[in-house]
Structure 1
Amino acid sequence: MNTLSLTDTQRRILDHAIEHTAGRIDWFPDNIKGGARRKVLDGLLKRGLIALNGGDHCVTAEGFAAVGRTPPVPISPSAETEMPASNAEAAEANATGKRIQKSREDSKQAEVIRMLHRPEGATIPQICAETGWQAHTVRGVFAGAFKKKLGLTLVSEKPEGGDRIYKIA
């Protein structure tokens, strides 16, 4: 028997996620905006009804049970990521608990990674010229996508009178 009491909003959000997006939370009622969305998500997280999976909030087995649904076969947290390119990468990913993500080879992100792998590296103005991004976007990609999500180590050096040069270590 289910002893959890849900608000109407929580129930509607969980039901919608289960029925329409395979458990991923990406819809809210029209009257739930901004800070209210954050509060609903926080409440569901604290009760264990949803969990973070990558950058998405997904309904947990407890969330399925709370709305009287049978959860699907359990999926490991890294099951939705792409498979590693080699067995060595798979072993390292399992040992460190890190997700392995790959980028499209024709994307701007992939182009920036190629530029950073060059022996001479790349400056932010060079990356901006190649991608059309603004400098703050490049710095954000360095911190978010490259360091946090992809786990890359960036090093930089500033030559006398020149722009800072970034490389992937």
Structure 2
Amino acid sequence: MPKITDTQTIILTRAATRPGNLAMPLPDGLAGAAAKMVVAKMIERGWLEEVDANLRCNEPLWRETGDGHGTTLIATEAGLEAIGVDPVVASTVSNIRKAGAGTKSAGVTAGDIPTPKLASIRQGTKQALLIEMLQRPEGVSIQEIVKKLDWLPHTARGVISGALKKKLGLPITSEKQDGRGTVYKLDAA
């Protein structure tokens, strides 16, 4: 794996804390040819991706395309993994952004789609494990969370509603099932 520089670490760390993993704006003092060189290397390594900017949401531009549109930069799964962000969370955030891009043509603006606010979750934490459990096709019940993570039921519900739904903006659904109680699922497109 290529060595990550301090500047690249700063860009990716900031992107991990922004909605949709936006890498823009770049750090102060990084402009012109230096910015182009750093970004080109990061795109080449697969750590950043250039995507169409949503001008309605005032996303910062990386460059203008000349036809009234522009592009912005987002951190990819590989980029977030390079700084130690859990790949489950990185892929979830990426999939939510891509799903949002697909719904724009249906008359829904990106402002209508909840975007995650914080994506930096360390690997191996209980929160990362909970996200993995939520992504299973069958979902996960509160009792299964309590047993696996050694939490109390109110703690599990609080983490789902507070940390995951509100802070991260993850689209978690719940439904009652006979024999299992309330089952929670995370459908990341």
Pick the TM interval, shorter chain: 0.3 to 0.5
TM normalised by structure 2 equals: 0.41
Q: Which has the higher contact order (CA 8 A, sep 6+)?
A: 2
Decide which structure has the larger Cα Rg and report it: 1
TM normalised by structure 1 equals: 0.45
